[in-house]
Chain A
Amino acid sequence: MKLAMLLKIESFIKTFKSLLKYKRFRIGLAIITIIAILSIISLFSPPQYKRWYAYPKDRPPQLTSLDMILGTTTNGRPVFWIMVNALTNSLYIGLLTALIGSHIGLLVGLLAGLSHGKTESVFILLIDSFIVMPGLPILIILSLALKQSMTIFTIPLILSIIAWAWPARNVRSITLSVASKDFVTIASFSGIKFFNILLYEIMPYVLGWHLTNFINTIIWAIGMETALAVFGLSILSEDTLGTMIYWVLNYNALFRGLWWWLLPPIILLISIFVGLYLISVSVSSYLNPRLRGGGQQ
Chain B
Amino acid sequence: MLALFKEVRFMSSSLLKVENVTKIFRYGFLGFKFKAVDDVSITIENKPMIFTIAGESGSGKTTLAKLILRIYKPEQGRILFMDRNIYEIDEDTFHKNIQPIMQDPYASFNPMQKPTRYLKETARNIAGIKDEREVEEHVAKTLSYVGLNASEIIDKYPHEFSGGELQRLAVARALLPRPKIIIADEPVSMLDASLRINVINLFKKIKEDLGIAFIYITHDLATAYYMSDRIAIMFRGTVIESGESKKVLSKPLHPYTQALLESLPEPDSRKRKLWIEKRIRFSTYIEEEEFIAKGCKYVFRCPYAMDKCKTVVPPYIKVNGTEVRCWLYESR
Contact = CB atoms under 8 A, between A and B. Distances in A.
Is there a direct interface between A and B, measured as CB atoms under 8 Å apart in the complex?
A: yes
Given A189-B100, A191-B121, 7 more contacts: A181-B107, A183-B109, A185-B71, A186-B102, A191-B122, A294-B111, A295-B111
Nearest to B99: A189
Interface string A273-297: 0000000000000000010111110
B173 interface: yes
Interface residues of B, number: 30
A296 B157 contact: yes
Interface string A174-185: 000000011101
A182 B102 contact: yes
Contacts of A293: 106, 111, 158-159
A-side binding surface: helix, strand, loop or mixed?
A: helix
Contacts of A188: 95
A192 interface: yes
A148 interface: no
B125 A192 contact: yes
Interface of A: 181-183, 185-192, 200-201, 204, 290, 292-296
Contacts of A182: 102, 104, 107-108
A196 to B, nearest CB: 9
B112 interface: yes
Nearest to A184: B110
A207 to B, nearest CB: 11
Contacts of B108: 182-183, 186
A39 to B, nearest CB: 35
A295 B160 contact: yes
Contacts of B69: 185, 189
Nearest to B176: A190
B111 A190 contact: no
B121 A190 contact: yes
A163 to B, nearest CB: 29
Q: Report whether over half of chain B's contact residues are helix, strand or loop; otherwise say mixed.
A: helix
A284 to B, nearest CB: 17
B110 A183 contact: yes
Contact of A191 (B92, B100, B111, B170): B92
Give the top 6 A-B pairs by smallest Cβ distance, nearest first. A191-B125, A295-B157, A293-B111, A190-B122, A182-B107, A190-B121
A208 B222 CA distance: 45
Contacts of A201: 110, 113
A189 B112 contact: no
B159 A295 contact: yes
B126 interface: yes
Contacts of A295: 111-112, 157-160
B126 A190 contact: yes
Interface in B99-134: 99-100, 102, 104, 106-113, 118-119, 121-122, 124-126
A190 B71 CA distance: 15
B160 A190 contact: no
Contact of B113 (A189, A200, A290): A200
B158 A190 contact: no
A195 B69 CA distance: 20
Contacts of A191: 92, 95, 121-122, 124-126
Contacts of B160: 295
Contacts of B122: 189-191
29 contacts: A182-B102, A183-B107, A183-B109, A185-B69, A185-B102, A186-B102, A186-B108, A186-B109, A186-B118, A187-B110, A187-B118, A188-B95, A189-B99, A189-B100, A189-B122, A189-B126, A189-B174, A190-B126, A190-B173, A192-B118, A192-B125, A290-B112, A293-B106, A293-B159, A295-B111, A295-B157, A295-B159, A295-B160, A296-B157
